[in-house]
Amino acid sequence: MTPTPPDKQQALVARLTDACGGSYSPETRRKFFISGPQWAAAYEGHAIFHAPTRPPIGFEQVIEEYGKLGIGHWTTHDTDVIPSEALGSAAQDEIVARIKKSLADNGVNCSMVTTETFHHAVFASSPASESPEIRKYAKWRVCNTVDIGHELGAEFAVYWPGSLGYQVQGAVEETDTLRWYAESLNAACERDIEVAKKRGRPTLKHCMEAKPFEPQAEILLPTSDAMLGFINSGLLTHPEMVGLNPEYLHELMWGGAPRAALARALTAGKLWHFDINDGYRLKHDVDIAVGLVNPLDWLNVLVLLRSHGYKGPFNLDYKPPRTTSNFGVFKVSFPTAVDRFITLWEMAGVVMEDSIIREASAALRAGAGASGNDPKELFEANKELMTLHELIGHRLVQILIGAHRGRTYSV
Ligand code: XLS
Ligand code: MG
Ligand code: MG
């Protein structure tokens, strides 16, 4: 093949993307409660070992592109759009007014706001720092985000505590730190009750997000389960207002099974928001787009969520790779992520209706009709039935690769 000069590369990427087929219309995409984060689209490819590979883009462009693609919901950290120094000032009001206009112009709504309590140097010792004035500032920040959320019409507020942990053992007293962290959530909930009442709006759903490591060496609330314990610890004044925003990869990062973590959140009635992405077990937070690494597990996750009536939001919390250009972010990265998600969602519907899986599951649940308490007899009675576990696994892979429709490969 001859080399592709720079001025022909976008056309090549666009042609090959279109040649892939299988994309959904913006109208179809809008039927799902899929949200696009400001920080995902605007991610410049920078990280601890990485210089940026993409120039910055602002919220106007991100919201416009999401609108065109059919990503009907937008999410943001306070400082993704408002410089730290401008928070709480007239400049904040001016920016929020511009955001409202962009959202309205593009038919996009703001579904979630979150407070950045991990990046700025002020949070070096966490939002629950020993320093009372830093804790006061953290409370003010989360309350300010509640105000922004109500102004933008959001339903959810997310809290990823980030630096709530330590680098050096023994420097942080864990019980104090957790109590102090709870105080900032309590402040946000109390502010929310007040503002919601004044505006005649429902209160926000406050969702905690866990990550097992990064950016601290040790994290005080490393998993969704730890957060469930925290919500029920008695430290929160409004535990009924606080739920979870699990992130798929964050559960894999500690070696957990995301589907099982989601099941635990569901049984607790706390699965309120879900960050969707992909990546590798026991590795760092690579935030790869949904379905590119673990499509089979993703299919199973969506079967679980569909069968429990979870209706979203599904927040596209991934990072377009550094090798993708800003053109590619909106031509390839976002549309293909959304379309893989929709395909897997629809495929989950196929799994739920599949006659083989249905009959196999029903047979397993009906048991063998044996009685008594002799374990050997009970095992023998059920022994042949349990082979259906592996058959279900096979059938799921068949559905994933399309082989259930009789597709075979010639040898
Ligand atoms: C970081 C988190 C973050 C949250 C919102 O790892 O995923 O992006 O989703 O602060
Ligand atoms: Mg996240
Ligand atoms: Mg992540």
| Token duo for residue 14 | 């666009």
CB of 285 within 6 A of ligand 1: the answer is: yes
pTM of the model as a whole: 0.97
Q: Whose Cα sits closest to atom 5 in ligand 1?
A: 160
CB 180 within 8 A of CB 138: no
**Hunting for tokens 């919390």 — which residue is that?**
317
Q: How distant, in Å, are the alpha carbons of 60, 161, 237, 352, 406 from that of 402?
A: 40, 41, 50, 15, 8
CB of 114 within 6 A of ligand 1: the answer is: yes
**pLDDT of 409 strictly over 90:** no
* Surface-to-core class of residue 164, CB atoms within 10 Å of its CB (0-12 exposed, 13-18 middle, 19+ buried): buried
b/e per residue, 122-131, with b = 16+ CB within 10 A? bbebbbbbee
**pLDDT of 216 strictly over 80:** yes
Lowest mean pLDDT among 26-35, 62-71, 368-377, 402-411: 402-411
b/e per residue, 292-324, with b = 16+ CB within 10 A? bbbbebbbbbbbbbbeeebeebbbbbbbbbbeb
Quote the pLDDT of residue 410. 81
pLDDT band, very low/low/confident/very high, at 408 (cuts 50, 70, 90): confident
* Angle at CA of residue 219, ends 262 and 207, nearest 5°: 40
CB 14 within 8 A of CB 335: no
Q: How distant, in Å, are the alpha carbons of 12, 393, 400 from that of 299?
A: 31, 12, 8
**Hunting for tokens 């959202």 — which residue is that?**
103
Q: Whose Cα sits closest to atom 7 in ligand 1?
A: 317
Alpha carbon distance 114, 148 (integer Å): 10
Closest ligand 1 atom to residue 211 Cα is 6
CB 71 within 8 A of CB 338: yes
Alpha carbon distance 354, 211 (integer Å): 35
> What are 330-344's pLDDT values in tens digits?
999 999 999 999 999
> What are 154-202's pLDDT values in tens digits?
999 999 998 999 999 999 999 999 999 999 999 999 999 999 999 999 9
- Average pLDDT in the chain: 97
DSSP, res 181:
H
Quote the pLDDT of residue 48. 87
Q: How distant, in Å, are the alpha carbons of 152, 361, 385 from that of 382?
A: 56, 13, 5
Quote the pLDDT of residue 358. 98
Q: How distant, in Å, are the alpha carbons of 1, 80, 206 from that of 117?
A: 49, 12, 15
Mean pLDDT, residues 219-239 taken together: 98
**Cα–ligand 1 centroid distance for 39 (angstroms):** 9
CB of 158 within 6 A of ligand 1: the answer is: yes
Quote the pLDDT of residue 217. 94
**Cα–ligand 2 centroid distance for 358 (angstroms):** 34
Alpha carbon distance 340, 291 (integer Å): 7
Alpha carbon distance 119, 292 (integer Å): 28
Alpha carbon distance 86, 369 (integer Å): 69
Mean pLDDT, residues 407-411 taken together: 80
DSSP, res 85:
G
Strands 242-244 and 205-208: parallel
- Alpha-carbon torsion angle 361, 365, 366, 369, nearest 10: 130
**Cα–ligand 1 centroid distance for 160 (angstroms):** 6
Q: Whose Cα sits closest to atom 2 in ligand 1?
A: 160
DSSP, res 203:
P
> What are 125-140's pLDDT values in tens digits?
999 999 999 999 999 9
Quote the pLDDT of residue 307. 97
Q: Whose Cα sits closest to atom 4 in ligand 1?
A: 160
Alpha carbon distance 151, 18 (integer Å): 38
Mean pLDDT, residues 246-255 taken together: 98
Alpha carbon distance 160, 251 (integer Å): 14
Quote the pLDDT of residue 407. 77
Of 277 and 311, which is predicted with more confidence?
277
Q: How distant, in Å, are the alpha carbons of 81, 203, 326, 331, 335 from that of 57?
A: 11, 31, 9, 15, 18
**Cα–ligand 3 centroid distance for 291 (angstroms):** 14
Among 160, 272, 274, which residue has the most ligand 1 atoms within 8 Å of its CB, making it the best to mutate? 160
Q: Give the largest Cα separation in the chain, rounded.
A: 76
Closest ligand to the CA of 251: 3
Q: Whose Cα sits closest to atom 3 in ligand 1?
A: 160
**pLDDT of 385 strictly over 90:** yes
**Cα–ligand 1 centroid distance for 301 (angstroms):** 20
CB of 211 within 6 A of ligand 1: the answer is: yes
Q: Which residues pair with 315 in a beta bridge?
A: 35, 275
**pLDDT of 406 strictly over 90:** no
Q: Which residues surround ligand 2, an ion (CB under 5 A)?
A: 247, 275, 317
Mean pLDDT, residues 265-283 taken together: 98
**Cα–ligand 2 centroid distance for 209 (angstroms):** 7
